[in-house]
Structure 1
Amino acid sequence: MRRYFQYGKTFKECIPTQGHADLRAMLIFGNGVLCMMDGIDANVRSHGDFLVFFMRINLIAWYRFTTLVLKEVCIRLKIKFSLQKYLEAYKRINKALQDYLEKLEKIDIEAYKKETEEYNRVIAAFDQAKNNKDLNKILLDTFEKMNYYKPWNGDFDEHMSNKNATLIFK
């Protein structure tokens, strides 16, 4: 609030983030004091029993403290930026893989197999063609069978010899 009223900053600029070194230090110090008090309490109440000590200690606070210290060390040693880039890159890769997996899950495998079998039959028929006439007939039959649109009407050679005829592509 002081920064807003005294320095005329916007509310967005006044909200502390992890980019503020003083905030990070305060969080580490506060969490460190919590962990120190927690450790002393667990030690006193456990009376030297190791199992009771770990049952009484606040593991989540200790984990948070360790995480904060490691992040601060990485920031101070300039390790943070390269690690952060890698983490963000892995997040983007993970998101792309998730999207791709969702698309793969939507694929109808049986329809894909039938379509692939049809294409394999067409390729086998192309291999059987002995000349251009046979290949032309196989292509036209394939167009009819697979309901492909032809940009001409009737016989292709007659259509192309007509000076007024046009090919219409859709």
Structure 2
Amino acid sequence: MLKQELQQKQALSPQQILEATLLQLNNSSLEKYILEEFEKNPILEPTETINDDDESNIKEDLNDEDWDDIYESKAVYEPKKENTFQISSEKNLLEAIIDQINDLDLKSWEKSVAEEIIYNLDDSGYLSIDLFLIADHFGKTEDEIDHILHKVQHLDPPALASRDLQQCLMIQLD
């Protein structure tokens, strides 16, 4: 019998283990650990630490700076003036498809048929109405409507207005 089980494990890297160990050490233990590391690894060299005198010299140097000159040299912030034109919002998918239909070299009745096809798509993008009904509505043959449907199916996104998943995939492979 097959058994499926889900487990979750957390693994710490060697660096994480070392960091956790170092965080737990007090000052004297940390100093001892560092000295041991210097002895183990000859490439490591101790550096001088900053003492209290050095810290006070740094603070004095900071106070000696002429901060008034620094502040005056900075450019003054001026808020941008609002543009008087309005940026158009992005088109939704329906508007983008209608624009593509208008860019096609179609007669006015063909554009109307293409728009009718687009307006009869379901939420998944499949054509949910029979071509016979569209042909009857426009007084055209099913072959004429099918020709326009073929053009709509090759717009972007591809395979729009397919009848089913199989047709959708076949159109995308063309």
Structure with the higher helix share, 1 or 2: 1
TM over 0.5: no
TM-score by length of 2: 0.22
TM-score by length of 1: 0.22
